Amino acid sequence: MSTVSPEPVGVDPNGLSEKQSRILEYLQVNADDRTYFKSRLIADDLELSAKEVGANMGAVADAARDLDVEKWGYSSGTTWMVTT
């Protein structure tokens, strides 16, 4: 007899960490209003560091099925182009 273990509480079904899930949700909520996001501004809104945002953006981009996330530029911080 096989049993299926439920996913632990707080684990995203996409395999994202809590920080990555927060960043993804932030982008999904705001992508209709704007296209370009600076890591430092995302970090300010989510109470993270810009370095944490940048380090997690690759996993977020891979998990974002409804968004296209692309590193767009670096001028006083990394800018991400996010399109639906």
pLDDT 10s digits, 55-71? 999 999 999 999 999 99
Model confidence pTM above 0.85: no
Span 68-83, average pLDDT: 90
Burial of 52 (0-12, 13-18, 19+ CB in 10 A): middle
Convert the pLDDT of each residue in 15-52 to its tens digit. Answer: 899 999 999 999 999 999 999 999 999 999 999 999 99
Q: For residue 75, give the 3-state DSSP assignment.
A: coil
CA-closest candidate to residue 62, choices 10, 12, 24, 11: 24
pLDDT at 74: 82
Beta strands (DSSP E) in 5-54 are: 36-38
Reported as type and span, the H/E element at residue 81 is strand 78-83
Matching CATH number, 18-83, of 2.40.10, 3.40.50, 2.30.30, 1.10.10: 1.10.10
CA-closest candidate to residue 57, choices 74, 37, 76: 37
